[in-house]
């Protein structure tokens, strides 16, 4: 069995519930406020751990109350935190999230996440069969250093280029599996995309990205499912009909579930089906990291 190593962000999510999103310059009354563990790196590491893969998180926390609470939570979820550093003179990463009618807007303040360095990702001993995962809530030079080490060790690299940010070929050339939504794909492919576009539009955009013959590209389409290009052959895995409560962690759940399945030796198409089912469970719950399902829950959905 391989292991999942996630180099990424750790945040406290401050979530405001409202009937609708405010317009620019407008104040609306909220219904509730919640504090949830989050950050794309933490979410993905929790998803992998709860789905049965040994999961190590590489990142940084501030030496504040949020940092203490996040460390306790992640330990309880089974995530290995030996490579998470407490960093003085900077606050723990924080995300301010507004949720209305199951859709969300997010403002992320990086804090300690911006300090994750190439030295931090030089510590783990990666091996063939391991899966190295990262996203764009830590500096890109750090991700490049991480993926270079992973490639040298024969590990599989997964990049989730979120939040949507431009990146160069130096990073994309190190990626085995690219997982992104329509906004991120549109930015990288330099074309305008909408979640209502036909699948052929996403295939066309994905084929614009610089890619080697073995690159796998997965475009997550929310309730419509996921479109995957494997060996340049497109396939659409339909979404599952569920009542969404909070979509905040759905993409991270998909990434962590896919990484866990690949670390456990599953074939890519089986792993995609599994990750799609896991994400359908995640959106039915509040919060990001706390909403990640267990392996037993995903198995139940797949059997049904």
The class that CATH gives domain 4-303 is alpha beta
Q: What is residue 204's predicted lDDT score, i.e. its pLDDT?
A: 92
Percent of the chain with pLDDT over 70: 99
Q: What is residue 23's predicted lDDT score, i.e. its pLDDT?
A: 92
179-215 exposure pattern, b = at least 16 Cβ within 10 A, e = fewer: bbbbebbbbbbeeebeeeeeeebbbebbeebebeeeb
**Please, which pLDDT band fits residue 104 given cuts at 50, 70 and 90?**
confident
Average pLDDT, the chain: 93
pLDDT per position as a tens digit, 37-95: 999 999 999 999 999 999 999 999 999 999 999 999 999 999 999 999 999 999 999 98
In three state form, how does the secondary structure of 110-174 look? CHHHHHCCCCHHHCCCCCCCCEEEEECCCCHHHHHHHHHHHHHHCCEEEEECCCCCCCCHHHHCC
pLDDT per position as a tens digit, 174-218: 999 999 999 999 999 998 888 788 888 999 999 888 766 688 999
Annotated binding site for substrate: 11-13, 39-43, 137, 252
Q: Which of 103, 173, 252, 270 is catalytic?
A: 252
What's the rounded Cα separation, in Å, for the pair 53 and 219?
23
Q: How many residues does the chain have?
A: 304
What's the rounded Cα separation, in Å, for the pair 210 and 25?
40
The secondary structure of 67-121 as a DSSP string is HHHHHHHHHHTT-EEEEEEEETTSPPEEEEEEEETTEEEEEEE-GGGGG--TTGG
Annotated binding site: 11-13, 39-43, 137, 181, 220-225, 246, 248, 251-252, 276, 282, 285, 287, 291
Residue 25 has pLDDT above 80, yes or no: yes
What's the pTM value of the predicted model, to 2 decimals? Answer: 0.93
* Across 224-234, average pLDDT: 89
pLDDT per position as a tens digit, 258-282: 999 999 999 999 999 999 999 999 9
Q: How far is CA 4 from the centre of its chain?
A: 13
Closest CA to 254 of 299, 216, 218: 218
- 147: tokens are 């993926």
Q: How far is CA 207 from the centre of its chain?
A: 22
Terminal Cα distance for the chain, rounded: 27
* Domain residue spans of the chain: 4-303
Annotated binding site for ATP: 181, 220-225, 251-252, 276
Sorted by sequence, the CB contacts under 8 Å of residue 230 that are 6+ apart come out as 216, 268, 269
**Please, which pLDDT band fits residue 223 given cuts at 50, 70 and 90?**
confident
Which helix (H) or strand (E) segment holds residue 295: the answer is helix 295-303
Q: What is residue 264's predicted lDDT score, i.e. its pLDDT?
A: 97
252 is catalytic: yes
Q: What is residue 168's predicted lDDT score, i.e. its pLDDT?
A: 87
Residue 154 has pLDDT above 80, yes or no: yes
Percent of the chain with pLDDT over 90: 76
């Amino acid at each position: 069995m391989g292991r999942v190593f996630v180099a990424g962000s750790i945040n406290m999510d401050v979530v405001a519930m409202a009937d609708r999103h405010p317009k620019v310059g407008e104040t609306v009354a909220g219904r509730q406020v919640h504090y949830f563990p989050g950050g794309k790196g933490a979410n993905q590491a929790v998803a992998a751990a709860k789905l049965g893969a040994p999961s190590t998180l590489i990142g940084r926390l501030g030496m504040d109350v949020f940092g203490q609470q996040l460390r306790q939570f992640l330990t309880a979820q089974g995530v290995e935190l030996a490579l998470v550093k407490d960093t003085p003179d900077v606050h723990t990463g924080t995300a301010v999230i507004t949720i209305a009618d199951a859709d969300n807007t997010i403002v992320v303040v990086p804090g300690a996440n911006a300090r994750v360095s190439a030295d931090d990702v030089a510590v783990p001993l990666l091996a063939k069969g391991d899966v190295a995962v990262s996203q764009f809530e830590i500096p890109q030079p750090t991700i490049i250093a991480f993926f270079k080490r992973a490639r040298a060790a024969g590990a599989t690299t997964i990049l989730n280029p979120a939040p949507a940010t431009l990146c160069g070929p130096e990073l994309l050339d190190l990626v085995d599996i690219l997982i992104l939504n329509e906004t991120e794909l549109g930015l990288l492919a330099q074309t305008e995309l909408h979640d209502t576009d036909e699948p052929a539009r996403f295939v066309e955009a994905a084929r614009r990205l610089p890619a080697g013959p073995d690159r796998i590209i997965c475009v997550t389409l929310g309730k419509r499912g996921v479109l995957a290009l494997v060996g340049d052959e497109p396939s659409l895995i339909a979404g599952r009909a569920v009542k969404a409560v909070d979509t905040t962690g759905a993409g991270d759940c998909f990434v962590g579930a896919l990484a866990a399945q690949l670390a456990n030796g599953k074939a890519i198409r089986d792993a995609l089906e599994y990750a799609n089912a896991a994400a359908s469970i995640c959106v039915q719950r509040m919060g990001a990291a706390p909403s990640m399902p267990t392996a037993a829950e995903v198995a139940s959905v797949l059997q049904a």
